[in-house]
Structure 1
């Protein structure tokens, strides 16, 4: 008897499979490394403010170089940008691991290495998102995005839980070493991506001209810039709560890195549940449903402010993970539907830039704000800001009315000016 290998679905081609597998590998390492970096600072005698400085050092170059990274990824083969960025991340995490393992890590060294890692991510993120968006097509795009995110976030569950356990048993240095190895493996996989399907770019007027074209795509779409503005606040306050206040609450109230790792793992389980839901559910009002699901991101900050027991924090993180995954898949489907392929990376760069622009300031100020008003008040403030900006973005008509169109039906004009009452229009 012969067994036939099950055929892959048409939307799960070679590039999609490589992208998904590489994302799984990197997320196994990076989710634990985020926890390890915070506890490496605390282990070296640093304070909550020092944890914030190291986190800010990573996000500052991310903000500075994102736009350049997006323009570059739309100009040269995206997989080359991805591999080079992975190599930089591998090197910086390897040196970070050696310093922590030998007990020689100093605050300025950890900040410098975190900055190098952020630089790599600035070039990687727009290229990776553009590559994924250009790889997927057809009616199954929603399912493809959901499965990709489910695989990626599923790896994050294991990475966060394993990272927390390894920190408790072996210390943060070994977790950073695992992350460096993961970047090396993922970079090797991404080197085999095929970009022959991507049309050759027409000669342009240079980097500044490319950036201006990306800006025009961005600013002429109210749904795009309004949600990016919303997430500039949401990412900042959630990032401060998770990278600075979360480890401190875990240390003082929950018993250390292990419970905090489990809480982050519960968030990952929630994202898997959300992805499974989105593989079956294709909401017609893409952005309205997605935006409503941002409100639960206020719950983890509120839970840390109380603070609730570890099991309750895990439950809250699960709910917020499920909700944000509904937003994430809806957002990717909207970008795939509305943005021209040759501008994917540039528009993605403006999206990333706006979304993380306030994160360095928020993480750097997290420690001083805690000293000024107290940790509890700071966490309640984070929760309140998430609710306020999410309610505000619902006032934008395009956000409330954006609808899913059949595959192959493109938006009319640069801003997607289809008839608002048409069943195939962008608004409905």
Structure 2
């Protein structure tokens, strides 16, 4: 039975067995996703894989992810969201042993298998987002989304540490098989959601169905503005973290410890942000979320000039805190405002734009630093991170992430 939208809102989502199953499945997929690069990194250390081969395999996984996201959005709206999660997780689980088989033998085999794993990962994301809206009633979705993001942040800490500990007793082949078992758990654990919707005249025409999702997104100006701001922050701020932070850690501080500590500070800030937003619901939740997103600007700003490492750590705590102040209201508002039959397609557009721009930003930043210098590029990244959310706050509906908030406030005073 699907969770009701009425009197059960006071019940904790962590006492809802259906949500716990969904949370465990999502967590398993997150652990598998974050563990794979570290397992393959261990293979490089063991000389079972070259650095170039590692880059090719991980790039194939990213390509599979980006290709599958829009396709999954259409399929998850056309068929049962639970079925899409099942097949996506199963595909990733079955493909993972072929990565292990190709280790030290065949880079092409590993590449194809990694692309399938990435496709499974990408197919799960919009389906999980839509399935959350089916399993959890509207009054508890904010806390449910906070619990989901907490799981994501915990996996970023647990997956590397757990992989390192297991590597002491297991070889790389068995660690890879372990990630496959995690994908199998992600396929099996989530509960059933709503029945598959009735087929429409456009069913079977992928572009027409995806276009319907794009039109739905365009009906919500706050969504397009927020997505644009998120894409700008990912393109600049995330790229600064991935490219400039290692360089600054090496050149200014002479040690990699600042790099590791800053990334840990970011994760701890994100954990604090998820805990905070689970209990705090500001009246202007849209503007608060966009203000949180702008906090990412402190990350490149802290790298602009030599500063005490504590200033860098504080900046990354703020960045992590802010990203969750944005994520949870963003996901919750999308689940609330978007027409349910189109939710997976709109969510796939969200993931496609935000995740799709990340590799482009990484490719752009290093040549930009070589051409213009590190400080001007970092200053530009910080400026974009501050200004893009501020511009998004001007869009209609951005105050509360709602297209109908103007009508709820009533007519303007005369």
Q: Cα offset for 1:53?
A: 7.0
Q: CA RMSD in A?
A: 3.9
Q: Cα offset for 1:194?
A: 1.6
Which structure 2 residues correspond to residues 220-239 of structure 1 after superposition, within 5 A?
A: 220-239=219-238
Would you say the 8 A contact 1:232–1:354 is kept in 2?
A: yes
Corresponding residue of 2:156: 156
Q: Cα offset for 1:255?
A: 4.5
Q: Which moved more, 1:303-312 or 1:233-242?
A: 303-312
Corresponding residue of 2:131: 131
Corresponding residue of 2:11: 9
CA offset digits 1:286-331 (Å, max 9, x no partner): 2111000011212333445556676654443322211111111111
Q: Cα offset for 1:372?
A: 3.8
Long gaps (5+) in structure 1 = 1-7, 404-414, 424-428
Would you say the 8 A contact 2:397–2:406 is kept in 1?
A: no
Corresponding residue of 2:84: 81
Would you say the 8 A contact 2:29–2:121 is kept in 1?
A: no
Partner Cα distance (1:331, 1:28) in 2 = 23
Which structure 2 residues correspond to residues 162-311 of structure 1 after superposition, within 5 A?
A: 162=162, 178-190=178-190, 193-195=191-193, 197-198=194-195, 200-206=197-203, 207-246=206-245, 255-256=255-256, 260-304=259-303, 306=305
Q: Cα distance 1:225–1:149, how it changes in 2: closer, same or farther (>3 A)?
A: same
Would you say the 8 A contact 2:26–2:128 is kept in 1?
A: no
Corresponding residue of 2:22: 19
Secondary structure of the equivalent of 1:419?
helix
CA offset digits 1:48-90 (Å, max 9, x no partner): xx98876654444433332221010011111221122223334
Secondary structure of the equivalent of 1:337?
helix
Secondary structure of the equivalent of 1:357?
helix
Secondary structure of the equivalent of 1:358?
helix
Corresponding residue of 1:122: 122
Corresponding residue of 2:6: none
Partner Cα distance (2:169, 2:250) in 1 = 15
Partner Cα distance (2:171, 2:242) in 1 = 18
Q: Cα offset for 1:183?
A: 2.0
Q: Cα distance 1:175–1:68, how it changes in 2: closer, same or farther (>3 A)?
A: same
Which structure 2 residues correspond to residues 304-343 of structure 1 after superposition, within 5 A?
A: 304=303, 306=305, 313-343=312-342
Q: Cα offset for 1:169?
A: 11
Would you say the 8 A contact 1:52–1:365 is kept in 2?
A: no
Would you say the 8 A contact 1:55–1:363 is kept in 2?
A: no
Q: Cα offset for 1:265?
A: 3.5
Partner Cα distance (2:61, 2:211) in 1 = 26
Long gaps (5+) in structure 2 = 1-9
Partner Cα distance (1:323, 1:59) in 2 = 25
Superposition TM-score, scaled by structure 2 size? 0.79
Q: Cα distance 1:74–1:417, how it changes in 2: closer, same or farther (>3 A)?
A: same
Partner Cα distance (1:204, 1:288) in 2 = 39
Partner Cα distance (1:177, 1:246) in 2 = 33
Corresponding residue of 1:66: 69
Aligned residues: 396
